[in-house]
A and B are shown apart, each in its own frame.
Chain A
């Protein structure tokens, strides 16, 4: 069983504050972490490895610094890691990153499962998983909480609507794991040393993946940022319990806090 886990590195939100008043982001500490949801994805893969055995391979697209995230993934239990980076790949957008991952997964070959996070915190995109499933023309299960493999069949428990469902599919399957689906493990002491000192991260550039500049041309362009309105605290509601309740519910609906 070979499981591919795409991992994204993001700017640690604990290192910056967002000022609504100044409509600016103040970065106090520029540190990078694995997208928290991707740790949930890796955890699902590692649990399958723990129970039935599997080769878990982490892959990431980005700048050279993403090497760190991949070593952390290996310390956590991944068996191998691939970093897709060069000047073009470091600059590309979600569509370009998706193409690079697809080519790399093709090149690694023979996979049974691809397990991604549902979404990344820094873009909230939530599209790379299904995009890859379409690329490979394989089954997908989104919003996964737990997954197991037995007798060659994948079984997963997934959030669906206001409840959840249990589903089954034959590999190859792509899973996207729900944020907070599990409690990711801590890296294993012995593996930390090895991951940073001994093990290799294989690096591939665009050319090795058979991609040219046109393939990686961004399909979207940033037009800036917007910030939520500043908070106005302290409004008091008065009247009978019924009046107050009606007032409150109306406010919550108007502000889209509830539906």
Chain B
């Protein structure tokens, strides 16, 4: 059976992008790689881009700098209507200057209407530079994207003051391209459809004068990284006297590691000598505002609560169902922390 016939049976035809046209067109997703895979945010952006594209009557174009054909196909399976692939080996590892040159040249020629980048280390470097290079402006760290269809402008939701609230901001109609960075984990993952097919166009870039200006001397992996100061930590797992002994406290450290978070403690844990005083949370210690605070074997005295009232999501694990900590927890677990924590670590790894 020939492939075309099979595709017809599957009800899928190759997406054929009509390249001709005037002015700024289509929604472009700047794909990002992590090791040999696509970053999850790239797939999430394809999903969001498809929704915007259907309103605008536009195509979703993906650009992959330094990847390969296999990853290009993955982009198509996840919603790209066409992929532009820079396969120059010099572009394998990320470096700002060559990447900006590749993207800048391509966009200057193709004139995108909208460009989506991940709000990641890489996307956060690229987007503002692209904005300046293309004489546009970027809206960054977006957690919501809608369209003002009458003006064909993007309306972006951007959290401010550490997420206390969000500003909603639209591009002015004369801004082209409209460049945004999209926060990872906000938009859902698209369905992976292996029967989707579309064109991959290999493109080349003249890297003359675009050599990296910053030399990387050495890279230190996660394990050796210095701890994030508690007031800045996004995830904190905190131990109280209820962890019982050093062994119990070690469970809290393991849970923090499994969540890539920081370890902290109540005064109870400091008094027991399991953790340094500078890691104490509360009135006499640090005031924290993480996205997630897990209190393990902490009673929840007012002096402790004082330090966590701005935490966005609090989980409490305590054996005593009347412990005050439950009054301030989004989720409470009445159980022996020594039994529950290993189970949580297991569930995280599953």
Residue positions of A touching B, CB distance < 8 A: 13, 18, 25, 94-95, 98, 121-131, 133-135, 138-143, 145, 155, 159-170, 173, 179-180, 218-228, 231-238, 241-242, 244-246, 248-249, 251-252, 255-259
B106 on the interface (CB 8 Å rule)? no
List the 4 shortest-distance A-B pairs measured between CB atoms, nearest first. Answer: A139-B213, A127-B128, A245-B343, A134-B132
Q: Which of B138, B144, B155, B226: most chain A Cβ within 10 A?
A: B138
Contact A255 B348 (CB under 8 A): no
- Known interface pairs A135-B132, A220-B139. Does A180 touch B333 (Cβ–Cβ under 8 Å)? no
A126 touching B124 in the complex, CB below 8 Å, given contacts A139-B213, A169-B213, A244-B343 = yes
Fill in one digit per residue for B321-350: 1 if any A CB lies within 8 Å of its CB, else 0: 000001111111111000110111011101
- A-B contacts, 24 of them at CB < 8 A, read A94-B137, A121-B162, A123-B167, A124-B141, A125-B158, A127-B138, A134-B100, A140-B129, A145-B226, A161-B222, A162-B260, A167-B217, A173-B213, A180-B229, A218-B172, A220-B172, A222-B169, A223-B155, A232-B330, A233-B328, A234-B329, A237-B333, A242-B346, A259-B40
Which residue of B is nearest A120, CB measured? Answer: B160
| A168-B215 contact, Cβ under 8 Å, with A126-B140, A162-B222, A236-B332 | yes
Complex CA distance for A258 and B34, rounded to whole angstroms: 18
Interface residue from A127, A160, A233, A256 paired with B131 (Cβ < 8 Å): A127
Known: A165-B220, A226-B165. A234 touches B343 (CB 8 A): no
Whether the pair B221, A127 counts as a contact (CB closer than 8 A) is no
With a cutoff of 8 Å between Cβ atoms, the chain B residues found around residue A130 in the complex are 124-125, 127-129, 132
Q: Is the interface of B mostly helix, strand, loop or mixed?
A: mixed
Contact present for B165 and A25 (CB under 8 Å): yes
In the complex, A242 Cα to B224 Cα: how many Å?
31
A124-B160, A242-B343 known; A222 and B167 CB under 8 Å? yes
In the bound complex, residues from chain A placing their C-beta under 8 Å from that of B150 are none
Alpha-carbon distance A141/B249, docked complex (angstroms): 38
Q: Provided the pairs A124-B159, A126-B140, A130-B125 are in contact, do residues A224 and B168 lie with their beta carbons within 8 angstroms?
A: yes
CB atoms of B347 and A134 under 8 A apart: no
Binding site of A, secondary structure by majority: helix, strand, loop or mixed? mixed
Q: Which chain B residues (121-173) contact chain A, with CB distance < 8 Å? A: 121, 124-125, 127-129, 131-133, 136-141, 144, 155, 157-172
- For residue B99, give the distance in angstroms from its CB to the closest CB of chain A: 12
- Among B161, B222, B315, the residue within 8 A (CB) of A13 is B161
> For residue B229, which residue of chain A has the nearest CB?
A180
| With A223-B170, A233-B329: A241-B165 Cβ-Cβ less than 8 Å | no
Smallest distance from the beta carbon of B262 to chain A beta carbons, Å?
A: 12
Instruction: Report yes or no: B339 in contact with A241, Cβ–Cβ below 8 A.
Output: yes
A21 to B102, CA, bound (A): 47
A164 surroundings in chain B (CB, below 8 A):
219-220, 225-226
Q: A126-B124, A225-B165, A256-B186 are in contact. Are A134 and B219 (CB under 8 A)?
A: no
A252 to B185 Cα, complex, angstroms: 12
Contact A257 B140 (CB under 8 A): no
User: Given A18-B164, A124-B158, A235-B332, do A165 and B128 touch, yes or no (CB 8 Å)?
Assistant: no
Give the CA-CA distance A18 to B161 in the complex, in Å.
10
**Which residues on A sit within 8 Å (CB–CB) of B168?**
222-226
Contact of B332 among A95, A231, A234 (CB under 8 A): A234
* Set B213, B219, B291: member contacting A163, Cβ < 8 A: B219
CA of A233 to CA of B316 in the docked complex: distance in angstroms? 11
* Nearest-neighbor residue (CB-CB) of B126 within chain A: A130
Q: Are A249 and B344 in contact (CB under 8 A)?
A: yes
Provide the bound-state CA to CA distance between A219 and B134, in Å. 14
Choose one: B170, B215, B331; the contact of A248 (CB below 8 Å).
Answer: B331
Shortest CB–CB separation between residue B164 and chain A, in angstroms?
5
Contact (Cβ within 8 A) A163 B165 = no
Docked Cα-Cα span, A155 to B260, in Å, equals 28
Q: From residue A228, how far is it (CB to closest CB) to chain B in Å?
A: 7
B184 at the interface (CB under 8 A from A): yes
Complex Cα–Cα for A142 and B214 (A) = 11
Whether a CB of chain A sits under 8 angstroms from the CB of B257 is: no
User: Do B128 and A168 touch (CB < 8 A)?
Assistant: no
A116 to B259, CA, bound (A): 31
Query: In the complex where A131-B131, A167-B215, A225-B166 touch, is A234 in contact with B326 (Cβ < 8 A)?
Result: yes
Report if B273 contacts A (CB, 8 A): no
Q: How far is the CB of B107 from chain A (nearest CB, A)?
A: 14
| Contact among B162, B185, B218, B221 with A162 in the assembled complex (CB-CB below 8 Å) | B221
Is B103 close to A, CB under 8 A?
A: no
> Are the C-beta atoms of B137 and A223 separated by less than 8 Å?
no
Bound complex: CA A25 to CA B161 (Å): 12
Please report the C-alpha to C-alpha distance between residue A155 and residue B213 in the assembled complex, in whole angstroms: 13
Name the CB-closest residue of A to B144: A226
B229 touches A163 (CB 8 A): no
Is A258 within 8 A of B259, CB to CB? Answer: yes
Partner of A249, one of B162, B218, B347: B347
Q: Which of B71-129 contact A (CB under 8 A)?
A: 96, 100, 121, 124-125, 127-129
CB distance A163 to B343 under 8 Å? no
Q: Mark B291-334, 1 if CB is under 8 A from A, else 0.
A: 11000000000000000000011010000000000111111111
Give the nearest-CB partner of A143 in chain B. Answer: B121
